[in-house]
Amino acid sequence: MQELTLSELNQQIKKTLEEQLERSYWVIAEIGQIQINQSGHCYLELVQKENNQVVAKAKATIWAYAYRNISAWFERIAGSELTMGMKILANATVNFHEVYGLSLNIKDIDPSYTLGEREKARQGVIRKLEQDGIMDMNKGLPLPIVPQKIAIISAETAAGYGDFINQLENNLYGYKIHHRLYQSVMQGVKAAESIVEALHQIHSNNSVDLVVIIRGGGSQLDLDCFDDYELCSHIAQFPLPILTGIGHERDTTIADMVAHTQLKTPTAVAEFLLQGFMSFQAQVEDYFNSIRTSTLGRLGVEKEVIYTIQSGIKHYAELQIHRQDTLLNSLTQSIKHITRAQIKAAKNSLSTLEQKIDLINPKHILQKGYAIVYKNGKPIGDKTVASGDTLETVTARQKIKSTVNTTTSLKNL
């Protein structure tokens, strides 16, 4: 058996690889690690995973002169720089060094493959959310008419957060909204987990009306965390309405799709909230004006009714007064007529009585030749007169005194 030194073995491996392998290969792999040194060279560790387990691994290098062109082209097409966790299709040559072992020298990277893999992963997440039946759960929650307490998930240093707060607090309408920031990583491999943790913290706070997730602008692949299934599942099933302002004008993330309301930028979220306040205020003012108009109209109607009733009462009172006045005049005339008739009748009766009294007046009797005999100043009438009595006889013209000599009883008269 031939004995070889390690160096000799590695040289044979190198020679065999150079003779047997193609000049370059298009290799599909995931970036496990990436580092750019001061000279501009890019060093990567490429991995292949199955069921989240690494089944293959290789070192790779992009020399500085090539990295400048590759990275610029990749960012222009894919919208992001090369980052850890990204799946790539790289054109590479296989190198073997006696000391450093096997490595790949990357000559080119196809950004369209990365975008395609990203979209494939997106569609898979969307299908799973739809299969779970939670895609539209958050959209079904009622949005508070005037939210007073807002939970904000963002990074305090993010420009988008500053824009949102400035728009909210310095609004021209004087609206006051209480808000609290829940700090979170907003891009990179830890972003999804960090945002989920912020949602857990908010869930424990029962005094929140709705949640806002905002970030500033960024590259296309900076948004990958917002296509994460776990994050989107939490957003979809969260018991409070969630508004998103991810800050990307062209693309919609899955987090946007499952959130209650999607807006393009943080300032757009703030404006949406303020518009809600304005709409509510306008509605209240409309109600007030409607009530005021209705009240004034009702007052006018009631005023007319009162005026009509008042006029009716006045007319009725005047009519009754006229009727009573007519009746009173009639009664007055009747009383006058009756009184006159009664007075006339009384006068006639008195005249008759006067005539009757006058007829029985002794003076008239005396004028007819009769006389009245008095004894002791009183008419004698049927009184007995005795002999010797002094009598006074009164005629119409004379008073005669006499003395009774004799009396005779007139029994037969």
Largest Cα separation within the chain, whole Å, is: 228
Which one-letter amino acid corresponds to residue 34?
Answer: I
Q: Give me the sign of the Cα torsion angle 17, 21, 25, 27.
A: negative
Q: What share of the chain is helix, strand, coil (3-state, %, to 5)?
A: 50, 20, 30
* R_g of the chain, CA atoms, integer Å: 66
Angle between helices 229-237 and 191-203 (to 10 degrees): 20
399 in helix, strand or coil? strand
The predicted pLDDT at position 49 comes to 87
In this structure, the strands spanning 25-36 and 178-183 are: unpaired
Q: How many CA atoms lie within 13 A of 229 on its CB side?
A: 12
What secondary structure does DSSP assign to 289-355, as a single string? HHHHHHHHHHHHHHHHHHHHHHHHHHHHHHHHHHHHHHHHHHHHHHHHHHHHHHHHHHHHHHHHHHH
Locate tokens 């009748």: which residue?
A: 345
In this structure, the strands spanning 210-214 and 178-183 are: unpaired
The predicted pLDDT at position 370 comes to 80
Quote the strand ranges of 75-204, DSSP E: 87-97, 101-109, 149-154, 178-183
The predicted pLDDT at position 6 comes to 84
- Domains belonging to the chain, first-starting first, are 6-109 (2.40.50.140), 122-278 (3.40.50.280), 364-403 (no CATH)
Angle between helices 111-132 and 64-78 (to 10 degrees): 40
The predicted pLDDT at position 352 comes to 87
- Among 136, 137, 134, 167, residue whose Cα is nearest residue 150: 167
Stretches in the chain below the pLDDT threshold 70: 1, 217-222, 247-251, 382-383, 411-413
Contact 244, 275 (CB under 8 A): no
